[in-house]
């Protein structure tokens, strides 16, 4: 019997200017969620996200698929040493409730150039949001999120509606490269 070697490769990332990043993504049915092709896509997106040093989230349009699927992968780093490891798959996610006003948070996006250097800016985001979504088994969930997770989820859900972080920057003078941001704020 031949040994089948399964090689997972990282997906090619789409970049700012690609029209797919501006499309409203397609929602998935239970049958579609449970299909082999879709489960394989989740595996490849997980691999792609784990290989990006600054990536904390990845939406399907960022790898060329106009589908309502996002992955979140947060691990402790020198700038957030106490943050617990979070790995989530959210299908058909929707922000169904927000709490209070917005406050500026620093963010960038893997679809804006290389992984070593890209633009960073302050984006107003809600501190707490409630989401409804389905997981990779098509089980429905509803939960409140705050902190970094709430921030990341708002950015990723925007991707599913063709909205990019640059659309939400109000203080346009806050733009700087991630390298400059790290030099100034993460010492």
Reading the block at residue 66, the tokens are 């106009």
Which tokens belong to 42? Answer: 């989740």
Decide if 156 is catalytic.
Answer: yes
**109 forms part of the interface with Zn ion (CB under 5 A):** yes
Q: Which of 50, 142, 156, 170 is catalytic?
A: 156
Cβ–Cβ under 8 Å, residues 104 and 162: no
Least distance in angstroms from the C-beta of 34 to Zn ion: 27
Cβ-based nearer residue to Zn ion, 41 or 118:
118
What's the token pair of residue 119? 């633009």
The piece of 22-30, 70-78, 102-110, 135-143 that touches Zn ion (CB under 5 A) is: 102-110
Kindly state the number of chain residues that form the binding site for Zn ion, as judged by CB under 5 A: 1
- Does 160 help bind Zn ion (rule: CB under 5 A)? no
E strands in 35-152:
57-59, 69-74, 86-107, 119-134, 140-146
Contact positions vs Zn ion (CB under 5 A)? 109
């Amino acid at each position: 019997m031949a040994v089948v070697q399964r090689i997972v490769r990282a997906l090619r990332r789409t970049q700012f200017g690609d029209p797919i990043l501006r499309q409203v993504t397609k929602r998935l049915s239970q049958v579609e969620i449970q299909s082999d092709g879709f489960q394989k896509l989740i595996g490849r997106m997980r691999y792609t996200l784990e290989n990006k040093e600054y990536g904390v989230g990845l939406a399907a349009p960022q790898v060329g698929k106009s589908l309502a699927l996002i992955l979140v992968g947060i691990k402790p780093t020198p700038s957030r040493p106490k943050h617990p490891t979070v790995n989530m798959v959210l299908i058909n996610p929707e922000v169904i409730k927000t709490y209070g006003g917005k406050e500026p948070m620093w963010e960038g996006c893997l679809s804006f150039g290389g992984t070593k250097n890209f633009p960073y800016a302050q984006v107003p985001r809600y501190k707490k949001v409630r989401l409804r979504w389905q997981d990779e088994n098509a089980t429905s969930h509803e939960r409140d999120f705050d902190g970094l997770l709430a921030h990341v989820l708002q950015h990723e859900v925007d991707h599913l509606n063709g909205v990019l972080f640059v659309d939400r920057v109000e203080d346009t003078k806050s733009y700087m490269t991630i390298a400059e941001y790290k030099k100034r704020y993460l010492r």
